[in-house]
C-alpha cells in the first residue's frame, strides 16, 4: 500500500515536472533572449539616416534597438515593467510650418553693410520652399511608419496595440500632410498673384 502510494506520487510528480519543464521551455523559446548570444550586428538606416545603435541578429531574427528606432521615427519611447515598451507619437516635436526669418540690417553712416532687398515675391517663394521641405519630411515619416506597420503585421505574432498606435500615427501625419499641401496651394496662388502684379 505504501509502495503504491509512493509510486503514484512519483508518477504525478514526474508528469507535473515534465509538463512544467516543457511549458517553460516552449515559452522561453518564443519570448526570452536572456542567455542567447547574437550572431552578428548590422547598422540600421531609417529614411536615409543611419542611427547610432546597431541591430542584433540571433538565429536568423533581427532585433532592433527600440529606443533608437522609435526616436528616429519621431516616436516617444516609454517603458513600464508590467506592460512593456510603448511607442507613441511624440508631442515634443510637432510638425509646423516655419516662418522665414529675415533680419534686415540697418545701415549706419560708418557701416558698409548693405540692406538686403527682399521683395514680397521672394519672401513668398521662401515660404513655399519651407512648406515643400515640411511636406517631404512628413511624407518620409509616413513612409517609415507604413513600412514598420507592414513588418509588424507580417510578423509571427503581430501586436494589436502596436498596430493600433502605428495606424493612429499614420492617420495623424496624413492629416498634417493634407494641411501642408493646402498651405502650399495657397502660397503658390499668392506667389503667382505677386509675380503677375494682381
DSSP secondary structure of 13-59: HHHHHHHHHHHHHHHHHHH--TT---SEEEEEEETTEEEEEEEEEET
Query: Strands 40-46 and 84-89: what pairing?
Result: unpaired
Q: Whose grid coordinates read 536572456?
A: 34
pLDDT value, residue 43:
75
**Residues sharing a CB contact under 8 Å with residue 78, sequence separation 6 or more, in sequence order:** 85, 86, 88
Domain boundaries, the chain: 40-89, 120-197
SS3 track for 104-170? CCCCCCCCCCCCCCCCHHHHHHHHHHHHHHHHHHHHHHHHHHHHHHHHHHHCCCCCHHHHHHHHHHH
CA distance 138 to 183: 14
- Of 145, 154, 155, the closest CA to residue 90 belongs to 145
Query: pLDDT tens track of the chain, all 198 residues?
Result: 555 555 555 544 455 454 444 444 444 445 556 666 666 776 777 777 777 777 776 666 666 777 777 777 777 777 666 677 766 776 544 455 455 554 455 555 555 556 567 788 888 899 999 999 999 999 999 999 999 989 989 988 888 898 999 999 999 999 999 999 999 999 999 999 988 876
Bridge partners of 85? 79
CA distance 180 to 132: 8
pLDDT value, residue 27:
44
**Residues sharing a CB contact under 8 Å with residue 130, sequence separation 6 or more, in sequence order:** 97, 98, 99, 100
CA distance 27 to 197: 73
Amino acid at each position: 500500500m505504501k509502495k503504491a502510494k509512493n509510486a503514484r506520487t512519483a508518477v504525478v510528480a514526474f508528469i507535473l515536472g515534465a509538463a512544467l519543464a516543457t511549458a517553460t521551455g516552449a515559452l522561453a523559446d518564443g519570448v526570452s533572449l536572456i542567455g542567447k548570444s547574437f550572431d552578428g550586428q548590422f547598422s540600421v538606416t531609417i529614411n536615409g539616416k543611419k542611427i547610432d545603435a546597431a541591430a542584433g541578429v540571433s538565429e536568423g531574427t533581427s532585433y532592433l534597438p527600440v529606443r533608437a528606432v522609435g526616436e528616429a521615427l519621431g516616436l516617444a519611447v516609454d517603458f513600464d515593467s508590467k506592460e512593456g515598451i510603448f511607442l507613441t507619437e511624440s508631442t515634443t516635436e510637432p510638425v509646423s510650418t516655419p516662418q522665414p526669418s529675415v533680419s534686415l540690417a540697418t545701415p549706419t553712416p560708418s557701416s558698409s553693410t548693405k540692406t538686403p532687398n527682399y521683395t514680397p515675391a521672394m519672401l513668398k517663394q521662401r515660404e513655399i520652399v519651407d512648406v515643400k521641405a515640411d511636406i517631404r519630411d512628413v511624407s518620409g515619416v509616413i513612409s517609415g511608419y507604413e513600412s514598420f506597420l507592414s513588418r509588424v503585421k507580417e510578423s509571427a505574432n503581430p501586436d494589436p496595440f502596436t498596430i493600433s498606435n502605428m495606424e493612429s500615427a499614420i492617420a495623424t501625419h496624413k492629416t498634417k500632410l493634407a494641411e501642408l499641401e493646402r498651405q502650399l496651394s495657397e502660397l503658390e496662388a499668392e506667389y503667382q498673384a505677386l509675380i503677375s502684379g494682381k
